[in-house]
Amino acid sequence: MKPKFICRSPGKKSVKIIQRDSKVISPSLTREYSFVFKRSKGCYIWDVDGRKYLDFSASVAVMGAGHTNPVVSKAIAAQSRLGYHCGFSDFYAELPVQFVEQLVTFLPKHLNTAFLSNSGTEAIEAAYKLARWHTNKKWAVAFKPAFHGRTMGSLSLTNSKAVHKNRFGPFMPVKHAPYPYCYRCPSGKDKHNTCSNLYLSELEKIMRQCKDNLAAVFLEPIAGEGGYIVPPKGFVKGVRELCDKYDALLCDDEVQAGCYRTGKFLAIENFGVKPDIVSLSKAIGGGIPLGATVANKKIMDWVPGTHANTFGGNLLACAAGIATLKYMRRKRLGENAARMGKLMMKRLHEIKEAHEIVGDVRGLGLMIGVEIVKDKESKRYGIGERNQILCKASEKGLLLLPAGTSTIRICPPLVLTKTQALQGMDILEDAIREVSQ
Ligand SMILES: Cc1ncc(COP(=O)(O)O)c(C=O)c1O
């Protein structure tokens, strides 16, 4: 299958690899560009034909600590001389323990026990199974749009694009409530209180349908794949209150928004809300597959054999995770994300004012969405325009990703400098200007 956006002709070496790829790799992957990776450093990546890009995708929000971080590389190399894997579900080792001891120092105090895995979907599966085990209840509520992963449990919670779910049912018992989208609120008012109340009442109706059999509500504190949508503060607080009212656990999916991307270590901290179970992955391993599901010890009360895996607690992953967390704290990447995010939002609001096709600009820290529309008045989705902007930007050396229907996703590595942030904004505005003409 061809990449979705062939922006500029790929170089000779890229073409050859893409041809080989099409023969042996599953066609189910969503390739956005004909970009073929060669190497990376900090906020830059190079393709096999030597083209350099400023990376505003962080390899899908993974490379928060920067590409090929030397501190992480050193930790992996050191551990590789001692052993890669210890069979942590059958034996003991210090490194996974050290990783979790360190991880919990980044989290609210009540989150003190972790199950380790290798990916976001596994971190969600563990949260889902744990919620069902602990409550011994059947139903879960998630949102539309939501993306929680693609294995059968997490896919049951996911509800962002039809292609993810078509032909894969039947699913687990999950109901979906609408996610607050103030820019397109059915009330017609882009007012946070009105929007929040409207969506909370929809959510409560759905929670009530689960009778006394609701185990958990799964929430992305910022909808990621669904379009980088930031809910109103009152909504997230209201979800917590409804969970308490209906005796359900609040499961917080921090796979994309977590690890300082929004300024705070957990995105949900921006809303002053305490979750019961947290799922982390992506940036936490510094680029090595690592997932963690964290809860209070009283909630994580499942018994031996109820849940385990082969690779959770993998030594190379834990060494990378420890180094990544230490680096993030030492370099104050949360503060940098907040600072760079502010700078970029200011510039993006100016860009929005200047261009009719920029409908909405939203985000927290370095998790920013720019929604492209046909025109500000109609707010009709500018899907083609968004895709063209992504192409033009990549031709100019800036790598971005789409999210939602017509949104540009901006999620650079958190080590981003002011110069890089402004350079990226200049390229993006040039691309928007060219597409507007
Ligand atoms: C919020 C969220 N949850 C879960 C996942 C699934 O993670 P993975 O692709 O590592 O399975 C993703 C992936 O994009 C995500 O963004």
What are phi and psi for residue 250, nearest 5 degrees?
-100, 110
Quote the distance between the C-alpha of residue 119 and its chain's center: 12
Q: Is the CB of 270 under 6 A from ligand 1?
A: no
Q: Is the CB of 125 under 6 A from ligand 1?
A: no
From first to last of its 437 residues, the chain has per-residue pLDDT tens of 566 666 778 999 999 999 999 999 999 998 888 999 999 999 999 999 999 999 999 999 999 999 999 999 999 999 999 999 999 999 999 999 999 999 999 999 999 999 999 999 999 999 999 999 999 999 999 999 999 999 999 999 999 999 999 999 999 999 999 999 999 988 877 678 888 999 999 999 999 999 999 999 999 999 999 999 999 999 999 999 999 999 999 999 999 999 999 999 999 999 999 999 999 999 999 999 999 999 999 999 999 999 999 999 999 999 999 999 999 999 999 999 999 999 999 999 999 999 999 999 999 999 999 999 999 999 999 999 999 999 999 999 999 999 999 999 999 999 999 999 999 999 999 999 999 98
Q: Which atom of ligand 1 is nearest to the CA of 291?
A: 10
The string of pLDDT tens digits covering residues 143-180 is 999 999 999 999 999 999 999 999 999 999 999 999 99
Quote the distance between the C-alpha of residue 7 and its chain's center: 25
In order of their start, the domains of the chain are 12-64+332-436 (3.90.1150.10), 70-330 (3.40.640.10)
Helices (H), 105-232: 120-135, 152-157, 162-165, 192-209
Q: Which atom of ligand 1 is nearest to the CA of 122?
A: 11
Distance 434 CA to ligand 1 centre (A): 33
Fill in the amino acid letter for 434. Answer: E
Q: Which residue minimizes the CA distance to atom 8 of ligand 1?
A: 120
Fill in the amino acid letter for 278. Answer: V
C-beta pairs of 198-205 under 8 Å, 24+ apart in sequence: 199/231, 199/235, 200/234, 200/235, 200/238, 200/239, 200/242, 202/177, 202/178, 203/141, 203/177, 203/238, 203/239, 203/242, 204/242
Distance 61 CA to ligand 1 centre (A): 10
Q: Which residue minimizes the CA distance to atom 16 of ligand 1?
A: 256
Report the residue among 60, 122, 124, 147 best suited for mutation to probe ligand 1: largest number of ligand atoms under 8 A from its CB: 147
Q: Which residue minimizes the CA distance to atom 3 of ligand 1?
A: 148
Report the residue among 57, 281, 284 best suited for mutation to probe ligand 1: largest number of ligand atoms under 8 A from its CB: 281
Report the residue among 218, 261, 282 best suited for mutation to probe ligand 1: largest number of ligand atoms under 8 A from its CB: 282
Question: What gap in Å lies between CA 255 and CA 119, rounded to an integer?
Answer: 9
Nearest by Cα to 260 from 124, 104, 366:
366
Torsion of CA 198, 202, 204, 208, to 10 degrees: 160
Distance 113 CA to ligand 1 centre (A): 21
Q: Which residue minimizes the CA distance to atom 9 of ligand 1?
A: 120
Report the residue among 118, 222, 255, 279 best suited for mutation to probe ligand 1: largest number of ligand atoms under 8 A from its CB: 255
